[in-house]
Amino acid sequence: MKMQKYWGVEKELPEEIIEKILLKMPVKDLIRFSAVCKSWNSFIRNPRFIQTHLKNQTDNGNSELLLLLSSYQSDDLHRDNPAALFGQYSNLLNPIHNHNKSNPTNHLCYQVVGTWNGLVCLSVFSLRGAPWPIILWNPYIRKVRFLPSPSCPSGSCTSGLCENYFFGYDSRINDYKVVRIVMQSYLDTTVEVEVWSLARGGAWKSLNNNVPVGSALDTYHHAFVNGAIHWVQDHQTNQQKEEEFIVSIVALDMVDESFRNLEIRQTRREIRQTRRERPPRISKYHGDGVMCWLALFEFVSHSSFNLWVMKEYGVAESWTKLFNVCLLSPEEGPCIKPFGFTKSGQVVVKLGDETLKSYDPKDKQFRDFGNRGYVYYFMDSFVESLVLLDQTNASSY
């Protein structure tokens, strides 16, 4: 067996054994090891090693919760380690505050667009109106990639222009993509869509020729499932009744960047609604810890919703109602909003007073969730990774 000379020192361990040892190491240790010598640095930054290490992390279920919290002082990103006592969050040092030190009065706010494979996509904006780029960020290796400005004009709903961002992954070529959707208003059927690719780099690419016709009811909530980004859209069904619509799901495939529509059927009927009703909210649900299903929250009332999942992707007849969540006590609040899921399958909901509770569908009980004094804006699973470590145009902070 070949002796290990790659590391600069003669060793009795073969290269394959050392690689297996390193693949089991946490990201923090690997970053420290990469500073030992050039050969170690080159090995750990190798794209093949980065991808294999990520696969080990996901296969072993080494995920945490990523939480965006807001307090009186600031907005902060936290990770919640299930191995620790709940609520003992670790504040993640983020690149936004670091770049804003030169002008601390220019308060920055941000929205988590999405997470995948240890990358966090952030949409940043200034309360003073100063433009900020979209950011791809790996908090564990403290690397950040600032995206170029979009081709279409930027703006906000207050200026008559509505824009939202999605984040997805192309598994065919191991590429991360950011999607931007722009409308004149949320009731407008004229939609412009652009996509930016980490592998391609450069400018944004327009997808306007293939956008499905319809109004995007809820582009703020989206779900990346089965290699595609999904959001809810509606279609007017009766020209005589302007308020009657059928809701469907738009899917944007991250591999070929093509659009398709998915039907929503519940007990063999399509969801019909009016503009005054709350549209269903899209999500993803890890039912058995392995399968990831496309999910919909159907609002029955302000205090109740049903959870539906598409057990066979793309098959409308496979939509299955899993359970109902309902507030029984008036003192619990007049309004309930689904917020996310825990690893054990509990639903986290936000009440009217912004407090969080978890709901266990097994015993049908609500329990306190999160820390009081904070407002929670985002929740999703998160895994440590080395993604971006091999990117020469990613900045450290």
pLDDT in tens, 255-302: 999 998 888 865 334 444 444 567 788 999 986 666 789 999 998 888
Q: 254 near 168, Cβ under 8 Å?
A: yes
In which band, very low, low, confident or very high, does the pLDDT at 327 lie, cut at 50, 70 and 90?
A: confident
Element (H, E) at 247: strand 245-253
Give me the pLDDT at residue 161, please: 67
35 shares its domain with 181:
no
- pLDDT value at residue 269: 41
Residue 39 reports pLDDT greater than 70: yes
In percent, the amount of the chain with pLDDT more than 90 equals 32
Cβ atoms 89, 80 nearer than 8 A: yes
| Same domain, residue pair 39 and 172 | no
Structure confidence at residue 105 as a pLDDT band (50, 70, 90): very low
Residue 385 CA to residue 27 CA, distance in Å, equals: 6
Min mean pLDDT across 17-21, 66-70, 107-111, 152-156 is at 152-156
Instruction: Using alpha carbons, select from 156, 64, 162, 161 the residue that is nearest to residue 109.
Output: 156
Q: Is residue 99 part of a domain?
A: no
- Residue 79's SS3 state is strand
Give the chain's largest Cα–Cα span: 82
Q: For residue 192, what are the domain limits?
A: 167-326
Average pLDDT over residues 217-239: 78
Q: Collapsing DSSP states into helix, strand and coil, what is residue 5?
A: coil
User: Domain count of the chain?
Assistant: 2
Mean pLDDT of 84-92: 49
300: nearest Cα among 275, 329, 271: 271
Provide the 10 A C-beta neighbour count for residue 51: 16
With respect to residue 71, please indicate whether it lies within any of the assigned structural domains.
no
Angle at Cα 190 formed by Cα 251 and Cα 178, nearest 5°? 45
Please report, for residues 24, 68, 71, 111, 257, the alpha-carbon distance to residue 135 in angstroms, rounded to integers and kept in the order given. 29, 16, 22, 11, 21
Domain boundary among 301, 326, 351: 326
CA torsion angle for 65, 70, 75, 77 (degrees, to 10)? Answer: -10
Structural domain contains residue 112? no
- Report the 10 Å Cβ neighbour count for 202: 8
Say what the pTM is: 0.84
pLDDT at 187 over 70: no
pLDDT of residue 186: 54
Residue 4 per-residue DSSP state: B
Q: Is the pLDDT of residue 138 over 90?
A: yes
Residue 149 banded pLDDT, cuts 50, 70, 90? confident
Domain end among 326, 346, 377: 326
Does 312 lie in the same domain as 171?
yes
pLDDT of residue 342: 82
- What does the pLDDT read at residue 290? 65
Report the chain's mean pLDDT, rounded to a whole number.
Answer: 78
- Among the candidates 292, 307, 326, a domain finishes at 326
Q: Is the pLDDT of residue 74 over 70?
A: no
Report whether 333 contacts 353 (CB < 8 A): yes
